[in-house]
Chain A
Amino acid sequence: MIWKRIQGLSYSSNLTALIIFLPPALLLFTMFVILPVGEASFYSFFNWNGYGSPQKWINLDNFVRVLSDPVFGHSLFNNLLVVLVSLCIQIPLALWMALLISDRARSSVIFRAIFFVPYILAEVVAGLIWRYMYDGDYGVVAVIYSWFGQQAPHVLARPGLATAALLVVVVWKYFGFHMALFIAGRQNVPSDVIESARIDGGSRWQITRHIVLPMMRPTIILSVFFSILGSLHLFDLVFVLTGGGPLNTSQSVVSYLYTFGIQRMRVGFGSAVGVILFIICVLVMVFYKRIFMRETEATSS
């Protein structure tokens, strides 16, 4: 009898709770995430400036225009470059540092905090700091050149060099994030395994190479995943540092979307870029998870 009352109570309160708890999230999410994505794919078939209602249906013209625009191709290439630099420089660097300071010594904790500082700075701040660094007349680069009696180039005004400069800032700003991931990953490697390897006479390098790194594989895979994701988000740094220039050589996909879609209120065109970006993201997520993440789940369980 009592049990029934409890069940009855829990049933009706379940319903009230449901009516109160779920709708706000569903409503907001639908209004500002799901519908907009749907609308973007709808608008992408129109030539529309955002006023009135979209009427000029132009089939796939927007997509054709985006995909045949060399600037878009170059932006996408820059995004790939970011991932590449992250893979070849940033992640190894982060891993190296992480392995040096994953213990609980006081000095390690301090170094960890230092390496993480660039990551917590706003992109705008990081961008402005480096704009100063790269300013050919004032900044740190200028001073370094003057030690050798040379006039410094205006790094951010030269095609190619500007993109390289951007990549340096990306490495500087985000390597601390990857390091934090690696430290967490390293601390998950059970210490008795390492201890027993050491007793068996394994050298520091052998232990790192054959035990620690393989056991950190899931973390490394995750870290690469985050750098791909980050590259697809890249906007603020580009905007502040180079504005995509010179001659649109340092655009990323999102800054391309901003420059050619939002700034000129070309809703149709911008939406087409958004849809392409969306498709890229979904493909990356699905394939990356299929190929790498599933495997890690299988090995870890």
Chain B
Amino acid sequence: MKKRISLFSYYRWLVLFGAAGLCLLPMWATVIGGFKTTGDLRTNAFGLPRQWIGDNYASILFGARFWQMLWNSMVIALFTVFFTLVVSSMAAFALAHLRFAGKKWIANYLTLGLTFPFATAILPVFLRVRDLGLLDSYWAVILPQVTFNLSFSIVLLRGFFAELPKELFEAAFMDGCSYTKIFWRITLPLSRPIIATVGVLALVGSWNNFLLPLVMIDSDQIYPWPLGIMQYQGQYGTDWGRVLAFVSLTMTPAIFFYLLAQKHIIAGLTSGAVKG
């Protein structure tokens, strides 16, 4: 019996380490590749650099372009998160706690966005943004992003709001609280976990979004980083040392953020999965 258990644990460790290796190898090769000379990259993709080159990383970190891109992405992401949270939590509150005719109909209407990918409507959205005169601005990305976050966020928030204890609301009414006050003073403070989840999902989605800025933004001063990195890659082609350094530098904040917000990210995914 004991032998069988240890055999299983050998097999388990072997499989896990193998899989983890395959998972991390490309990222390892990338980060380490940024420190290599071109010749080194040709012959020695996995190992440590024979000669450490700091220039690739330094030239990016001390250039203005990298920071400008990150700034653009951050502005877009923060506005997206803010408006997503405001608009969807208000709507979710109305759908969870207010009484009005056609509530079910409106709830269904607002969740229609879960049915299809954003790309299906991207041409008309592009034309609308153009006609509003917003093309090539932060808003051209923020507004559609917020809108396409709504369905999912409302489903998550509404589910959470509806399960808050009813007694609280009744007590608040007795004390003469209006709904708007209840929303601010009771619902929102009690819903921090779900707000964090929705916020984190919106943040990650916005930070990584590529198609929308690709269609909406032309001038490179306001490029968010996914566009900037593609431009950089186009410029330096197969000067892989530079490109890999750039990729590594954009990858690092994402991984740090993930390690910090891991709980919310995974909770968001699984709760979304259960409700979606």
User: A interface vs B, CB < 8 Å?
Assistant: 6, 9-10, 13-14, 16-18, 20-22, 24-26, 28-29, 31-37, 39-40, 43, 50, 96-97, 100-101, 107, 111, 113-118, 120-125, 128-130, 132-133, 135, 137-140, 142-143, 146, 172, 176-177, 180-181, 184, 204, 222, 226, 232-233, 235-236, 239-240, 254, 257-258, 261-262, 267, 270-271, 274-275, 277-278, 281-282, 285
Picked from A25, A114, A270, the residue with its CB within 8 Å of the CB of B24 is A114
- Say whether A122 contacts B273, CB under 8 Å: no
A53 to chain B, nearest CB (A): 11
- Cβ of B6 within 8 Å of any chain A Cβ, yes or no, is no
CA distance A249 to B141 in the complex (A): 30
Task: List residues of chain B with CB within 8 A of the CB of A285.
Answer: 115
- Say whether A16 contacts B180, CB under 8 Å: yes
User: 15 extra interchain contacts, Cβ-Cβ under 8 A, other than A135-B238, A236-B211?
Assistant: A10-B179, A13-B178, A13-B180, A17-B183, A18-B94, A35-B128, A116-B258, A122-B208, A130-B26, A138-B240, A146-B43, A239-B214, A262-B126, A271-B124, A277-B119
Residue among B86, B122, B126, B240 with most chain A CB within 10 A: B122
Task: List residues of chain B with CB within 8 A of the CB of A271.
Answer: 123-124
- Say whether A100 contacts B12, CB under 8 Å: yes
- Say whether B122 contacts A274, CB under 8 Å: yes
Query: How many interface residues does B have (CB within 8 Å)?
Result: 93
Given contacts A29-B110, A181-B269, whether A122 and B210 have CB atoms under 8 Å apart is yes
- Say whether A233 contacts B27, CB under 8 Å: no
CA distance A125 to B93 in the complex (A): 37
- Cβ of B98 within 8 Å of any chain A Cβ, yes or no, is yes
0 or 1 for each of B237-276: is its CB under 8 Å from A? (1 = yes): 0101001100100110011001100100110011001000
Binds A, one of B50-58, B60-68, B146-154: B146-154
Task: List residues of chain B with CB within 8 A of the CB of A20.
Answer: 90, 180
Task: List residues of chain A with CB within 8 A of the CB of B44.
Answer: 143
- Cβ of B99 within 8 Å of any chain A Cβ, yes or no, is yes
Task: List residues of chain A with CB within 8 A of the CB of B12.
Answer: 100
CA distance A14 to B33 in the complex (A): 60
Task: List residues of chain A with CB within 8 A of the CB of B197.
Answer: none
- Say whether B98 contacts A14, CB under 8 Å: yes
- Say whether A274 contacts B45, CB under 8 Å: no
Picked from A115, A116, A122, A143, the residue with its CB within 8 Å of the CB of B46 is A143
- When C-beta atoms are compared, the residue in chain B nearest to A271 turns out to be B123
Given contacts A6-B174, A32-B144, A282-B116, whether A235 and B211 have CB atoms under 8 Å apart is yes
- Say whether B26 contacts A140, CB under 8 Å: yes
Task: List residues of chain B with CB within 8 A of the CB of A140.
Answer: 25-26, 29, 45-46
Task: List residues of chain B with CB within 8 A of the CB of A10.
Answer: 173, 179
Binds A, one of B13-21, B74-82, B188-196: B13-21
Q: Which 8 A-B pairs have the closest CB atoms?
A: A25-B91, A17-B179, A36-B124, A36-B121, A122-B208, A13-B178, A32-B147, A39-B124
- Can you list 16 residue pairs at the A/B interface with Cβ under 8 Å? A14-B179, A16-B179, A20-B180, A25-B91, A28-B146, A28-B150, A33-B113, A36-B122, A40-B123, A43-B124, A100-B15, A121-B254, A146-B43, A267-B127, A271-B124, A282-B116
CA distance A273 to B88 in the complex (A): 30
- Say whether B30 contacts A132, CB under 8 Å: yes
- When C-beta atoms are compared, the residue in chain B nearest to A143 turns out to be B45
- Say whether B127 contacts A34, CB under 8 Å: no
Picked from A22, A97, A107, A123, the residue with its CB within 8 Å of the CB of B208 is A123
CA distance A28 to B16 in the complex (A): 46
CA distance A138 to B93 in the complex (A): 55
CA distance A253 to B123 in the complex (A): 15
- When C-beta atoms are compared, the residue in chain B nearest to A17 turns out to be B179
Picked from B98, B233, B265, the residue with its CB within 8 Å of the CB of A18 is B98
CA distance A232 to B120 in the complex (A): 10
- Say whether A115 contacts B229, CB under 8 Å: no
